[in-house]
Amino acid sequence: MQPLNEAILIMAVGMITVFFILFLIVLIGDLIIRLSNKYLPEEAVAVKAKKTGTSSDNTMKAIEAAIDVITNGRGKVTNIKKI
């Protein structure tokens, strides 16, 4: 009988704890949402800086120049695949 009583007690403690923690999650989530809506309302929009002279641009220019030389200006780069 003793273990059964203990099991019933564990059930009560367990269910109350689980409900309590998930109830806290609801409260915490709600609080975080309210605070972020008030103080951090919008996501910082990433400003697209105009790319100037990045390494990928330079690579592209080098490939285009090489194709231009090899095909005497008739070739055009449509797709670049890394092998």
**Pair of tokens at residue 31:** 């609080």
State the virtual CA torsion across 10, 12, 15, 16 in degrees, nearest 10. Answer: -120
Q: Which stretch binds other proteins (CB under 8 A): 13-21, 52-60, 67-75?
A: 13-21
Compute the distance between CA of residue 43 and CA of residue 45 in angstroms, rounded to an integer.
Answer: 6
**Pair of tokens at residue 38:** 């008030």
- Kindly tell me which of 13 and 70 has the beta carbon lying closer to other proteins: 13
Is there binding between residue 1 and other proteins (CB under 8 A)? no
> Can you give the binding site for other proteins, defined by CB under 8 A?
3-4, 6-8, 10-11, 13-15, 17-26, 28-30, 32-34, 36-37, 40-43
